[in-house]
Amino acid sequence: MSSVAERLERVRERVRRAAETAGRDPASVRLIAVSKMHDAALVRAAYEAGQREFGENYAQELGDKAEALAGLGELRWHMIGHLQKNKARHVVRHAECVHTLDSGELAAELGKRWRALPGFDPARRLDCLIEVNIAAEAQKSGVQSADVDGVARGVEAVAELRLIGLMCIPPFAADAEASRPHFQALARLRTELGGPARLPELSMGMSGDYEVAIAAGATLVRVGSAIFGERRAAKSAPA
């Protein structure tokens, strides 16, 4: 099996090529290495190979890993999993960006908890994206497309937060092409809501479809298994 460093390099190369093929500057796409259910040692290996931004899905796991790796000074954590209000205070201690805002109430809670952090600096805001249920799936979290503007106004009303974009997870499909219309729909929604001036980031694309996402305009791709390998079995209950 190849090492994390080798896999990471391969993903970086594919990100670069996908951006160039789309006529985009490769620097306009940031790679977030999704380390959920992988040991902190693998995060460290990726960090040593130059990776700085990492994503986690569960508040507890994020906290544990962030504490274990506190010595890695340039490491940046993104919260990419569904977030309940009662976990907000754990998440703000470690994450600098939350991809999964789905209500004005969660925004208000995150703002309140961010402000309460020791050493709070009013000049430093918590970056947030709104998760959009782009295919209107019954079981999926995220905001319906028609409601995104209202939630965006709610986030923008919280002084401690900085709304930076939209995020989506398209319906699971074995074929990456199946994701394309959903990525394009998120990009269109962003255009309708004010474009990159209001929402500079599009967080979309995972191991199976990040190249398609880049073609559709992704600026943040969240890649886990292509870097870290297959995950251990899913936890029974998200922490």
Residues within the interface to ligand PLP (CB under 6 A) = 34, 36, 57, 80-81, 169, 206-208, 222-226
Q: How far is the CB of 123 from ligand PLP (least distance, A)?
A: 29
Specify the residue, 160 or 179, whose C-beta has the smaller distance to ligand PLP: 179
Cα pseudo-dihedral 173, 206, 77, 113, rounded to 10: -40
Q: How far is the CB of 115 from ligand PLP (least distance, A)?
A: 26
Q: How far is the CB of 69 from ligand PLP (least distance, A)?
A: 19
Burial 158-178 (b: 16+ CB within 10 A, else e): bebbebbbbbbbbeeeeebee
Specify the residue, 63 or 224, whose C-beta has the smaller distance to ligand PLP: 224
Task: List the beta bridge partners of residue 98.
Answer: 79, 128
Specify the residue, 107 or 223, whose C-beta has the smaller distance to ligand PLP: 223
| Cα separations in angstroms, 219 against 27, 139, 161, 213 | 9, 26, 20, 9
Q: How far is the CB of 112 from ligand PLP (least distance, A)?
A: 25
- Residue number with the smallest Cβ distance to ligand PLP: 224
| Cα separations in angstroms, 7 against 30, 38, 96, 224 | 16, 15, 25, 11
Specify the residue, 143 or 160, whose C-beta has the smaller distance to ligand PLP: 143
Q: How far is the CB of 226 from ligand PLP (least distance, A)?
A: 6
Contact 205, 14 (CB under 8 A): no
Contact 211, 14 (CB under 8 A): yes
Specify the residue, 120 or 172, whose C-beta has the smaller distance to ligand PLP: 172
